[in-house]
Structure 1
Amino acid sequence: MATRTWQTAWNCFREARPVVQCAFLLRYLAGALLGGPGGSLHPGRIALGAFGWFLATTAIYLFNGVADLPEDIRNGSTRPIADGRLAVETALASTGLLAAAGLVCSFALGFASGALAMVYVILGYAYSGPPFPLKKTYWSCTVTGLAGGMITYLAGFLAGGHRPDSSLLVFAGMMTLWMGGVGAVAKEFPDIEGDRSAGRRTWPIVFGVPRATRLLRLLAAGVVLVFGTLVELYTTRLLWCVVTVLVGAIAIGVTSKGLTRGESAARRRPYIAFMWTQHATHLVLGITVLATPLG
């Protein structure tokens, strides 16, 4: 019985995409670190809030896995729901439990933190669920990504319990654009066939792969340019974060060359570059904060 429970929990975690869970956790912690410079952080609050956010994010992406089942099967996904290791009914029940537990943890920090978590969960449902799944169109998908990223940074900041500063505003704003802009385009390239069969209107489907690729490169370059300018003007301690994003933008430019509809593995490379850049930039931020408190 215990073995089966752990196996179900593991399959739920796998379905919820660990690499994405890590990204949201890093965003939350970044908001907390930048909101609490010096030695005045509240580790207990941050740990409880981060755990609650992790549970809520897992619930959101687990529900998304259920909603994406037809597309995942069409795209040959090996995720637990698509390949039959995790039953849809079990996933839905787990989604409810995870969301409830995440909200309890968030409300334990205060009404504002709980309210943000509730908005976050509702947004996650609206992305995948009826009556109008926001994932259906490129513009609503992008707006959802932007909102989810900024809400996560804000929730982390509230857990830190301190006033905002230029570093928080610049980093959170630019990395939200990286997620909601660059990521929203890059993630659609590998799944064109399944998305088309499900009636989704993603960036590559609406504008074609060549134009969507050019847009991806333009967005990546734009984030680097604006990020670098703001850091130069307001918070030079984030310089190495800009350098990391610059390297990532170059990687996206290289990996997005020659994308075609018939090469699924190649079409996934820009998204991998985007995601690793996101992780690396947040880790660089953490090192920077530990080495030199931001203010």
Structure 2
Amino acid sequence: MPVAQRTPWRVARLLWAETRPVVQTIFAVRYWVGAVVVLAADGAFGPATVLGAAGWLLLTMSTYLVNGVSDLTADRANGSTRPLAQGLVGASGAVRVAWALAVGGLVLTALTGTVALVLCAVAMGVLGWAYSVGPRPLKCSVGGTALASAGGGLLTYLAGAAAAGAAPAAPHLAVFVLLALWMAVAGATKDLGDRAGDQAAGRRTLPVVAGHRAATQLIAAGCLLLGLVTVVVADTWPEVLLPALVLGAGAVVVAVLAVRSAEDAPRAAVRRPYRAFMVTQYAVNPVLVLSVLA
């Protein structure tokens, strides 16, 4: 891109695109679901909730920005159209912005004066950066990827609850844990279409380690097992029946799409299980909120 076009606004838009707005949106949804669940019970809405939301956004943006830098080799091998992979923004500048976002996020959460929220923020910052950088990034192993996915999701729900001033009730905490596990299990579908690039970058994702067919079978089995657990949760706590049913239905859909996924299919087709995973996330969270407010 010509230097004349690199206005601060243009660079900011490119960096925002690099942080994957769809993913940023679901993190914001998780935070506010955690807050609403508590607010509907005995929490209190105040400046801490809003400051916490802003701080959490900066932290998750930082995480995905540094991840974009660390994924350059794989993204280019996979034909990614994100700004860093296309060379529209520089890696060194993106890292500096990521550091600034991380510090800003921690400062904003500290200003809330909520110890539990600050602890969640510190844990999220460490987990997010450990996923992408360091001598042994979490993203380079199946277990590390699962830990980062589940941990980041659960911490976000708990951060929203902490900012609202209380811990979530047991039924809602159970759904939060299920959704965190959903990210670890069904979220692995994201790697199905990225196998070539991940292998080139030295990442040992599930499809790289086990092969495409075995990976889809393991993902399908994990989703179905998680679906069974949702039935147990719904039976134990009828107040979360609807979100549990939606998650269970999504688990079946992802399992079916995964086992039907062909390795040599177009990349858009291979990513169908991942799209179903994302749609399920977007569906479960508002249903949980509606069940709480009903």
- Residue 82 of structure 1 corresponds to 85
What one-letter code is carried by the residue in structure 1 that aligns with 2:251?
Answer: A
- Residue 69 of structure 1 corresponds to 72
Question: How far off its partner does 1:56 sit?
Answer: 0.4
- Residue 186 of structure 2 corresponds to 182
SS at match of 1:188: helix
SS at match of 2:39: coil
How high is the TM-score relative to the length of structure 2?
Answer: 0.92
Highest RCO, 1 vs 2 (Cα 8 Å, sep ≥ 6): 1
Q: State whether residues 238 and 285 of structure 1, in contact with CA within 8 Å, keep that contact through their aligned partners in structure 2.
A: yes
Percent identity over the alignment? 37
- Residue 113 of structure 1 corresponds to 117
Aligned length: 289
- Residue 24 of structure 2 corresponds to 21
- Residue 251 of structure 1 corresponds to 253
Question: How far off its partner does 1:167 sit?
Answer: 2.4
- Distance in 2 between residues matched to 1:23 and 1:163, nearest whole Å: 21
Deviations 1:94-147 (A, max 9, x none): 111111111111111223322321221111111100211111111111112122
2:159 to 155, 159, 162: 155
What one-letter code is carried by the residue in structure 1 that aligns with 2:148?
Answer: T
Q: State whether residues 170 and 227 of structure 1, in contact with CA within 8 Å, keep that contact through their aligned partners in structure 2.
A: no
Question: How far off its partner does 1:259 sit?
Answer: 2.0
SS at match of 2:84: coil
Unaligned 5+ residue runs, structure 2?
Answer: none
Query: Could you say what the CA RMSD is over the residues aligned between the two structures, in angstroms?
Result: 1.9
- Residue 130 of structure 2 corresponds to 126
- Distance in 1 between residues matched to 2:246 and 2:253, nearest whole Å: 11
SS at match of 1:86: coil
2:233 aligned with 1:238? no
Question: How far off its partner does 1:230 sit?
Answer: 1.2
What one-letter code is carried by the residue in structure 1 that aligns with 2:142?
Answer: Y
Question: How far off its partner does 1:72 sit?
Answer: 0.4
Question: How far off its partner does 1:160 sit?
Answer: 1.2
Q: State whether residues 35 and 168 of structure 1, in contact with CA within 8 Å, keep that contact through their aligned partners in structure 2.
A: no
- Distance in 1 between residues matched to 2:261 and 2:23, nearest whole Å: 26
- Distance in 2 between residues matched to 1:271 and 1:43, nearest whole Å: 36
2:150 to 146, 170, 180: 146
- Residue 59 of structure 2 corresponds to 56
- Residue 5 of structure 1 corresponds to 8
Any runs of at least 4 consecutive aligned residues in structure 1 with deviations exceeding 6 A, and if so which? none
When structure 1 is superposed on structure 2, of 260-269 and 1-10 the one drifting more is 1-10
Question: How far off its partner does 1:88 sit?
Answer: 1.2
- Residue 223 of structure 1 corresponds to 226
Question: How far off its partner does 1:262 sit?
Answer: 5.0
Question: How far off its partner does 1:237 sit?
Answer: 2.1
Unaligned 5+ residue runs, structure 1?
Answer: none
2:176 aligned with 1:164? no
Q: State whether residues 81 and 87 of structure 1, in contact with CA within 8 Å, keep that contact through their aligned partners in structure 2.
A: yes
- Distance in 2 between residues matched to 1:242 and 1:113, nearest whole Å: 27
2:17 aligned with 1:31? no
2:166 aligned with 1:197? no
Deviations 1:211-265 (A, max 9, x none): 111111112112221112112112x122221222133223213422032145322
- Residue 48 of structure 2 corresponds to 45
When structure 1 is superposed on structure 2, of 160-169 and 16-25 the one drifting more is 160-169
Question: How far off its partner does 1:2 sit?
Answer: 11
SS at match of 1:187: helix
Q: State whether residues 33 and 41 of structure 1, in contact with CA within 8 Å, keep that contact through their aligned partners in structure 2.
A: no
- Residue 287 of structure 1 corresponds to 290
